[in-house]
Amino acid sequence: MGWLKSLARRRVLAKHGISARRWARARRHLPFLAGLSEDEAQRLKDMAVIFLAEKEFTPLHGLELSEDDRVEIALQACLPVLELGLDAYEGWVGIIVHPSDFHVKRTRVGEDGVVHEWDDELAGESWPGGPIVLSWEALDDAGSVADGGANVVIHEFAHKLDMMDGEADGVPPLPSRQARERWIEVFDAEYERFCRTVESGEETFLDPYAAEEEAEFFAVASEAFFETPNALKGEFPRLYELFKGFYRQDPARRLET
């Protein structure tokens, strides 16, 4: 039934688009979109339009999302799949947006059998097979990774890509067993090196939260790959090459000036 999907998407693009004014605003708010070729920029805008038609936004607690907000979320969500295709986000439709960071109750059974419960305060969350949850307040941090901020949209959508072949574990779907083994070899070594750096108290431009687990390292490093690629390439060159191969993009080249 792929032809039906293609037909529906062509119809969406025939009726809708991103205006020059809205694109200029997005470029100001999302400086990492600089360097895209004319072809890449047009494909990204088209993908964002289709994304907005196929996904369902649900703002909570009286929050009202402007069309600019929706477009900028869509552009950021589509950037990681610019060369992978929107079908990478199949199987779910919901994007829930809280006005600010939100609380999630966690439960874990310890080795002693005791159940531990606590509240996590989050800016975003991805559920396997379910929606993505974002903090509207945290969206303002987009473009600030170089200054210690975060890109919650790229972070959560990176988790979605990681989950394409199961639980989020820092190993996204790869084309062959050899590619998977190579990924694990390099990724694990870079993750362990990063954890040692954090434990030693040394400074690193990546958010120390990335040391929580491999899945968070993948998501945080994905933020850096798109926002501060030259910094990632300088500190983690082998990791950068892995991401370059997976995402099929070279942001360091387009943001080198």
Q: Which 8-state DSSP code applies to residue 80?
A: G
CB 72 within 8 A of CB 27: no
Q: Look at 188 and 146; give whichever has higher pLDDT.
A: 188
Domains (range + CATH), the chain: 2-254 (1.10.472.150)
Q: What percent of the chain has pLDDT over 70?
A: 90
pLDDT at 109 over 70: no
C-alpha 183/C-alpha 27 separation (Å) is 33
> Closest Cα to residue 72, out of 97, 93, 103?
97
List beta partners, residue 125. Answer: 133
Query: What confidence score (pLDDT) does residue 180 get?
Result: 96
* pLDDT tens figures, 120-169: 666 688 888 889 999 999 899 999 999 989 999 999 999 999 999 888 99
Query: What confidence score (pLDDT) does residue 122 get?
Result: 66
Average pLDDT over residues 172-194: 97
Strands 132-135 and 94-98: parallel
* pLDDT tens figures, 15-39: 999 999 999 999 999 999 999 999 9
Q: Which of 1-10, 32-41, 73-82, 86-95 has the lowest mean pLDDT?
A: 1-10
